[in-house]
Structure 1
Amino acid sequence: MGTSPNTSRNGPLIERRSIDFIPDNERHGSLWSQFTLWVSANLTVTCAVTGALTVVLGGDVFWSLVGLFIGQLIGGMVMALHGAQGPRTGLPQMITSRVQFGVYGAIIPLVLVCIMYVGFLTSSTVLTGQAVGQLLDVSTTSAILILGVLVALLALFGYRTIHALGRVYSVVGGLTFLYLFVSLLSGHEVSALLGNRHFTWPTFLFALSLSASWQISYGPYVADYSRYLPRSTSPTLTFVMVGAGSVLGSQLAMTFGVFAAAIAGDRFAGHEVTFMVGLGSVGLVATVLYLAITLGKLMSSALSIYGSVMSVATISTALTGKSAIGNGMRFVLIMSVVTLYTSLALVADHGFLKTFGHFILFLLAFFTPWSAINLVDYYCVEKDNIDVQALNDVNGRYGKWNIPGISTYILGVLIQIPFMSSEFYTGPLFDFFGGIDVSWIVGLLIPGALYYFCSRYRLPHQTQQAVQSNRV
């Protein structure tokens, strides 16, 4: 859990690395920062609203909480397995997809990941624009623009600054949500809310799927924030600290959302920020709550902006043959992403947010097969032996297109369609399973098994051992 000799105190203020390999002499940080980062990433209004959907769509408090917690554990384990790759690979998450899909083939899941980032950023900005507007006494439009500038700065400074903010907000956000809980539950019979139970499989598994998808959606960028840890860092401890932080933070926020939806009803839905700040009455306490909510927004948005830049950089370098991008290009990419999601947030409203739960469940159909393939390859096939130089060589070990990997991924997406139920589409086998959406389970298990079977036909490794500085 210690730091390497080159500690973070001696590094540049603005991160100079992008998607390139982090050498041992630049490794730094501790596992505690992984815990605080993922606690803080989940203590947000958006996470609370996601939890509230379980009650809004018909679930009771007790079984919604149980379903959410089980889903957190399942999805959190998947997410943490990706996070544990960071110290060993020294690479951001999505560039390792070139191992499974090929240098060009990895662009397929990368494009979908970028769409996910825009969706999360837009929805959370719509919510938090209320807080900044009230705090600064400006219009929501002005507030959204101010948020865009602040998030762009955080993403530009990069890894160290984001982790530092995570350490601060893990305390601020934790205290904020505890205060909100006490204020919300004051004068209400918690035992009565928990005692009013009407279990149904569809609502229970909706809660489970919602939280599992929330966790799995972190998979494409969780290793971005662990790749600077010393190579000697224990993978098991990394798994525990990343997973525990994410599960704890998200369950706390979603539990608040469940109780808020059950107690406040329409006073919460559509007015989330106003309702939450109203729990602090007026004056100084309300101002502190606005600040805390805004800080949480900056934290989660910085993660998504940073991750989106890693993804776009991975796409561009695949096409140009380069191994990394410079700070000038990083700035251009950051501003492009900020401009895109800010523009969408300015024209969106709470009608957009009503489909948010269905949106992330729909996205799950595209990320569960990727996650299964990536994890099976890393832990069962390659066993963390990644040829770093070959990641940028279309004529190298991984090639342009890995047809078995791409085919397995496409099949993994398609095989979920008959079992799927979303606002966008309902498959023919959904009713056969009693109105229960099991598509994400199918999307995890079958592609993983198929990829493991197909991996035996992968071309022989061109290099069995490589120089340590070029291979992980």
Structure 2
Amino acid sequence: MGNRMSDTSDTSTKATSVDRSSTAKPSDGTLTLERRGIAHVPAGQRYGHPRNQFTVRFAPVIYLAGIYLGASGGPLGLGFTGSVTAIVLANILGSIVTGLCAVMGPRLGMPQVPMGRAPFGYFGNFVPALLTLLMCIGYYSVGTVLGAKSLADLFNVAYLPTVVVVAAASILIGIFGYKILHAMGKLITNVSIVVLTVVSVVLLFHGGGPGVEATATGTDYWLSWSVLFTAVFGYTASWAPYASDYSRYLPENTKPLSVFAAATAGLFASCTWMMCLGAGLITLMPDGDVIDAFGVALPEWLRYIVLLTLGLSAIPHNSVNLYSGAMNALTCDVKLPQWVTVTIAGVVGLVIAIVFGGDQFQANFLLFLHVLSYYITPWVAVLLIDYYVVQRAGRKIESFDNFYTPNGVFGRVNMAGLIALVVGVVVSIPFMANDFYTGPVGAALGGADLSYFVSGIVAAIVYLISRPRFAPRSALER
């Protein structure tokens, strides 16, 4: 393995938007303002335990989006059992993808998206970094709208001041960064596990409603099952570009299996729990709104606590998106301090939430995010192939200063990675299925969107084949 990059490396500080006074020491308090940006974390400033990967993956999912997604199997005619099987299997795959990315954090000591400079080149990596930045701001806006609406309805107050308060709190937490996000993750996880356990027990005793049994049969049933399966996988796998942002401070000698197990289990547990709650609740009101179903099964005091928990939990979810969005902006060589990028992203998302936060906001904006997310699986596939095959799970990595300069061994643009990304997306177009566009294969499958799997497999193969020919010569010598 090459020499480690020192914290005062001239190359790093010139090539990244990082405050050079950064000293994220283990002794710093939770409310210490993080200034490191995307700079490599030296061995002497590493800390933490892999078990914290469970809570930092679990907490951001505890808001209403997972419940809505899990409930979508009801209108498809899957019933409770069909919905749960699709949810569980899809979440296993999606969580594994994120867990594999989280493992890279301790070894490389940098956020997730900057790692893409190895397979895409320094400037070539701007493409996935910009797309991920847009996705982060988008999910922050969705979380802000959902959280603000929940709290406004619960307390019978106006939406506008509520959305401003939710956004301000989200920005503030995001500004302080890594440590407070881990601390909030522990708090939200502990509280939500208690609340969700009580709700689950009450629902079990209450029993299902008229929507328990599947109404779809035969081929229609399996097509509907595939629709939910692919939608859930796309949602869960979309957490992969965030993964190493929250594991990069762990000591380099942390066991990869421990990081993988904790990160995978945390994301799987929260996604599956929230979605299965949605699948169970919608059986009570098959033709209604899943949130209204809380009032059918729960006593008023418990319904109040649940909606309050989900509303407030949207705030740290938003902060995670703002923080990771800042990492992506810095990866595009934005010459601003980390806290400024968080604030700007938060204000932009707040404007979106205010201007477009009407009745159709969620459906329309989630469609936009769904279309945007088509780059994720081919990007992840290329990144994982480069790390686990080319770099041999980080054992054959070059010195870290190469990640922070256009003149490093990875080159300015690595056409092999970009070709694989583009080809993966293009080949998968016939398999796409959404409200904006449905390809011929997607239509034949009744709306099942298999494009995520096709694009990932194709991108991985194309990268392995094209790398010897199109990658920079310096990169091939790795």
Structures share fold, TM-score greater than 0.5:
yes
Counterpart of 1:213 (choices 227, 231, 234) is: 234
In 2: Cα distance, 1:426 partner to 1:464 partner: 42
In 1: Cα distance, 2:408 partner to 2:180 partner: 36
Counterpart of 2:383 (choices 361, 374, 378) is: 374
Asked whether 1:421 is paired with 2:433, we answer yes
Tell me what 1:315 maps to.
Answer: 332
In 2: Cα distance, 1:195 partner to 1:174 partner: 29
CA contact under 8 A between 1:69 and 1:211: conserved in structure 2? no
In 2: Cα distance, 1:214 partner to 1:8 partner: 36
> Alpha-carbon deviation of 1:125?
1.7
Counterpart of 2:171 (choices 152, 174, 180) is: 152
CA contact under 8 A between 1:381 and 1:452: conserved in structure 2? no
Which structure 2 residues correspond to residues 297-312 of structure 1 after superposition, within 5 A? 297-312=314-329
> Alpha-carbon deviation of 1:338?
1.1
Which structure 2 residues correspond to residues 360-439 of structure 1 after superposition, within 5 A? 360-383=369-392, 384=394, 385-433=397-445, 435-439=447-451
Alignment identity in percent?
25
In 1: Cα distance, 2:192 partner to 2:477 partner: 47
Q: Deviations over 1:314-343 (max 9, x none)?
A: 1125xx6xxxx5xxx223212211111111
Letter in 2 for 1:335: T
Tell me what 1:470 maps to.
Answer: none
3-state DSSP class of the match of 1:417?
helix
> Alpha-carbon deviation of 1:447?
0.6
In 2: Cα distance, 1:298 partner to 1:386 partner: 38
3-state DSSP class of the match of 1:54?
coil
CA contact under 8 A between 1:19 and 1:313: conserved in structure 2? yes
In 2: Cα distance, 1:268 partner to 1:57 partner: 14
In 2: Cα distance, 1:455 partner to 1:159 partner: 35
CA contact under 8 A between 2:58 and 2:266: conserved in structure 1? yes
Q: Quick one: structure 1 residues 298 and 436, their matched pair in 2 at CA, closer, same or farther if it must change by over 3 Å?
A: closer
In 1: Cα distance, 2:81 partner to 2:455 partner: 28
In 1: Cα distance, 2:323 partner to 2:447 partner: 38
CA contact under 8 A between 1:131 and 1:290: conserved in structure 2? yes
Which structure 2 residues correspond to residues 307-346 of structure 1 after superposition, within 5 A? 307-317=324-334, 329-346=337-354
Tell me what 2:22 maps to.
Answer: none
3-state DSSP class of the match of 1:338?
helix
Letter in 2 for 1:48: I
In 1: Cα distance, 2:238 partner to 2:459 partner: 17
Bigger Cα displacement from structure 2, 118-127 vs 96-105: 118-127
Tell me what 1:443 maps to.
Answer: 455
CA contact under 8 A between 2:31 and 2:180: conserved in structure 1? no
Bigger Cα displacement from structure 2, 456-465 vs 94-103: 456-465
Q: Deviations over 1:127-169 (max 9, x none)?
A: 1112322455531111110011111111111111100111111
CA contact under 8 A between 2:151 and 2:162: conserved in structure 1? yes
In 1: Cα distance, 2:215 partner to 2:475 partner: 62
Tell me what 1:17 maps to.
Answer: 36
Q: Quick one: structure 1 residues 107 and 192, their matched pair in 2 at CA, closer, same or farther if it must change by over 3 Å?
A: closer
> Alpha-carbon deviation of 1:350?
3.4
Which structure 2 residues correspond to residues 52-451 of structure 1 after superposition, within 5 A? 52-134=71-153, 136-189=155-208, 193=212, 198=217, 200-269=221-290, 272=291, 276=294, 281-282=299-300, 285=302, 288-317=305-334, 329-346=337-354, 347-355=356-364, 358-383=367-392, 384=394, 385-433=397-445, 435-451=447-463
In 1: Cα distance, 2:296 partner to 2:175 partner: 34
Counterpart of 1:37 (choices 56, 75, 96) is: 56
> Alpha-carbon deviation of 1:189?
4.0
Letter in 1 for 2:346: V
In 1: Cα distance, 2:111 partner to 2:409 partner: 19
> Alpha-carbon deviation of 1:26?
0.9
Q: Deviations over 1:266-314 (max 9, x none)?
A: 5425xx3x6547865445x555434422331112111101000100111
In 2: Cα distance, 1:462 partner to 1:286 partner: 56
Bigger Cα displacement from structure 2, 196-205 vs 69-78: 196-205
> Alpha-carbon deviation of 1:41?
1.8
Letter in 2 for 1:442: V
In 1: Cα distance, 2:417 partner to 2:329 partner: 21
TM-score normalised by structure 2 residue count: 0.86
Letter in 1 for 2:351: S
Q: Quick one: structure 1 residues 232 and 79, their matched pair in 2 at CA, closer, same or farther if it must change by over 3 Å?
A: same
In 1: Cα distance, 2:411 partner to 2:45 partner: 29
Q: Quick one: structure 1 residues 57 and 125, their matched pair in 2 at CA, closer, same or farther if it must change by over 3 Å?
A: farther
Structure 1 portions without partners, runs of 5+ = 1-5, 466-472
Structure 2 portions without partners, runs of 5+ = 1-24
Bigger Cα displacement from structure 2, 186-195 vs 411-420: 186-195
Letter in 2 for 1:454: S
CA contact under 8 A between 1:8 and 1:29: conserved in structure 2? no
3-state DSSP class of the match of 1:210?
helix
> Alpha-carbon deviation of 1:426?
1.1
Letter in 1 for 2:325: S
Letter in 1 for 2:142: S
In 2: Cα distance, 1:176 partner to 1:268 partner: 21
In 2: Cα distance, 1:462 partner to 1:369 partner: 20
Q: Deviations over 1:419-455 (max 9, x none)?
A: 1111111112334456532211111111101111222
> Alpha-carbon deviation of 1:416?
0.9
In 2: Cα distance, 1:103 partner to 1:293 partner: 39
CA contact under 8 A between 1:92 and 1:223: conserved in structure 2? yes
Q: Quick one: structure 1 residues 118 and 210, their matched pair in 2 at CA, closer, same or farther if it must change by over 3 Å?
A: same
Q: Quick one: structure 1 residues 169 and 279, their matched pair in 2 at CA, closer, same or farther if it must change by over 3 Å?
A: farther
Report how many aligned residue pairs link the two structures.
447
In 1: Cα distance, 2:110 partner to 2:329 partner: 15
